[in-house]
Structure 1
């Protein structure tokens, strides 16, 4: 999921086709993060054992590197450190200013291999002094918290295999907890101790994969999956015991690979039914309010901004939709890449960054003042 923000009127100005800057990055699924106006990308070969690591900053003296077509990196930034999770399941910590490698977490020997069948695709989660990742294969693994400064293991939870989703941090009934989707289902643990709080089975239907990151909104955990629709689940604490209640379950739309995003009390996502449809549903009831046309694409990356939802389709089309449940309303649509786009776009004061298969491109946003990101609650 993604959050961004615009000016107080929700205006995003006129996007493109003004090309402000373009940078070769190498072929990869790598994501991008913005830290103090410095743009970081970390493409790596699939084989991390060679320790061939590269960092490019927009405007720096270094050049892009030719990389493996299957390279993939997931990023997190906290307290001057960048944490990266590679496709091979290697967690690395870097100094955000110098790019110096600080430490690495490799659990391939514990689980026989460092990643599930299609490669690791989970983002590191940082909470205080802990960086949390689910390591392991399809069949076995664990959610593990490491000390962000030293890389030393703090706690380990469970034995379930690693999914392709990312853990999220929520506060439920006064308890700060980490909720994740494993290969078997949803699980929640206390963030500080790693103690199990609650579980909810969510077996696969079809292919052997759980890929969609859960969404938390107003006491509900919203979870979708391939051929399983979407559920609104309410964890409750009563007498010291956690239980999970299904508030609603709808099967008109389902989430396969693309994580959904909440704007207001509405969930916006991309269903694999109909060969790919954008949709909007009411998070309180699960009612599907509208669906877009079929055959839209294969994957979509979303950003929620005041009054609008940004959707970057994997074919390089950027859609800006009005946030509302009345109808499917595309305010504007732009062609921002001629090659596939897998990473989330990044909204900046000066424009919007789009990472495609080989380039990082900054598209201008004319006449727009962008405020700091502010996730909806």
Structure 2
């Protein structure tokens, strides 16, 4: 379903039905886990059961659909209730998405217009991360982190450009790699957090670890982390913390927000944290000490979904409700004028 902004009324919906969960466990909540991948006037979506479809972004009408799980004969993921959680990525006319269970672990590249298979490759079972576009050392590539480890492929052909060592494998791949600059990444793995360089080596690439932090230092589960002015901010399980970017040493660990999410407002040096309880917390992006600036109850119920920020408005959702909050301190008329200019 799409909602018209700014009032939030339902604007259009797809007639195609798909489950939000595979199985049922009300203690865990039911969440939409994957965002749509949009390009031009099309929205590419996937369901918890592994279905893949392309919709007209204006009307919600179905253009094509495929059940990649049924086609490959794959079993459901080991943690069956969560189903498939990979968000599709559209790059240069190819829609890239993961679908697979034990024995049929595939990352698929589909023609974005027709839905026909462009390529597929083994990617490991039970992945909950998503393909991610990046450019390292001038080479456009798609990163994917799964049980076979972090790898990079050329989006049009799926040519393997490089693969991280086995020490960077993750038994529960959910956290996206973080691109630091033109040749460095931060990767969350079973062994902890790793900062590594990706350098050209002849016709290929060479990976060199800069430092690693044991798992007890920073353990993001399905939440990401942000980097700002020489510091890393993120969740160590249910507690928020900060690490020094150069050394990996912890500078502070405070704030029991559960399995929440974080957004960086870099120009204001602040962090927006959504707590698992539905609270919205404003933190100073200060590596020297923990400073909680403000907080209020933004949503009711368990909140795991990532927030989105656009044109001075913060959009939040969970299994129970959606909400939009105005964050700008400018007069309302001035904010509306600037938003119209941007649109």
Q: TM-score range by the shorter chain?
A: 0.7 to 0.9
1:363 aligns with 2:320: no
Q: What corresponds to 2:139 in structure 1? A: 175
Contact 1:318 1:335 in 2 (8 A): yes
Return the structure number with greater relative CO, CA threshold 8 A, min gap 6.
1
TM-score computed with the length of structure 1 as normaliser: 0.75
Q: Report the Cα distance in structure 2 between the residues aligned to 1:35 and 1:158, rounded to whole angstroms.
A: 40
Partner of 1:197: 161
1:235-250 aligned at under 5 Å gives the runs 235-250=198-213
CA shift in 2, pair 1:224/1:139, >3 Å = farther
Equivalents in 2 of 1:40, 1:174: separation in Å?
Answer: 40
1:101 and 2:62 matched: yes
Shift of 1:257: 2.0
Alignment: residue pair count: 315
Cα displacement (A) at 1:139? 4.6
Q: What does residue range 195-344 of structure 1 map to in structure 2 within 5 Å? A: 195-200=159-164, 201=166, 202-204=168-170, 208-218=171-181, 219-226=183-190, 228-251=191-214, 252-272=217-237, 276-293=238-255, 295-297=256-258, 299-306=259-266, 307-344=269-306
Ranges in structure 1 where 5+ consecutive residues have no aligned partner: 1-24, 26-31, 50-67, 373-377
Following TM superposition, by how much is the alpha carbon of 1:336 offset from its aligned partner in structure 2, in angstroms? 0.6
Query: Quick check: 2:13–2:59 contact (8 Å CA) kept in 1?
Result: no
Greater CA drift, 118-127 or 279-288 = 279-288
Query: Is the Cα–Cα contact under 8 Å of residues 183 and 210 in structure 1 kept in the other structure?
Result: yes
Q: Answer yes or no: is the 8 Å Cα contact 2:277–2:301 preserved in 1.
A: yes
The Cα of 1:311 is off from its aligned counterpart by 1.1
> SS where residue 70 of structure 2 aligns?
helix
Distance 1:149 1:260 in 2: 34
Structure 1 vs Structure 2 CA RMSD: 3.0
Q: Deviations over 1:209-234 (max 9, x none)?
A: 222111111122211135x2201121
- 1:228-260 C-alpha deviation (Å, 9 max, x unpaired): 220112122111122211111012222222122
2:45 matched to which residue of 1?
84
SS in 2 for 1:292: strand
Deviates more, 1:34-43 or 1:316-325: 34-43
Instruction: For residue 310 of structure 1, report the CA deviation from its aligned partner.
Output: 1.1
Q: Is the 8 A contact 2:299 2:321 kept in 1?
A: no
SS of 1:117's partner is coil
TM superposition shift of 1:184? 2.2
Runs of 4+ residues deviating >6 angstroms: 32-43
Q: Tell me the residue number matched to 1:46.
A: 19
Question: Residue in 1 aligned with 2:89?
Answer: 125
Structure 1: how far apart are the matches of 2:17 and 2:75? 16
Q: How far apart are the structure 2 equivalents of 1:35 and 1:147? A: 31
Q: Normalising by structure 2, what TM-score?
A: 0.81
Worse-superposed segment, 328-337 or 346-355: 346-355
Higher normalized helix content (fraction of residues): 2
Report how far residue 162 of structure 1 moved: 4.5
Return closer, same or farther for 1:139/1:233 CA change in 2, 3 Å cut-off: farther
Give the C-alpha shift of residue 282 in structure 1: 3.1
Classify 1:114/1:330 alpha carbon distance in 2 versus 1 (closer, same or farther; 3 Å): farther
TM-superposition CA deviations, 1:90-124 (whole Å, max 9, x none) = 12111111111111232213442365223111111
Which deviates more, 154-163 or 127-136?
154-163
Deviations 1:179-233 (A, max 9, x none): 11112211111122210011122344xxx4222111111122211135x220112
CA contact 2:126–2:172 (8 Å) conserved in 1: no
Give the match's secondary structure for 1:120: coil
Deviation of residue 129 (structure 1)? Answer: 1.1
How far residue 158 of structure 1 moved from its aligned partner, in angstroms, is 2.7
SS at structure 2 position matched to 1:145: strand
Determine the C-alpha separation between the residues in 2 that align with 1:105 and 1:35: 30
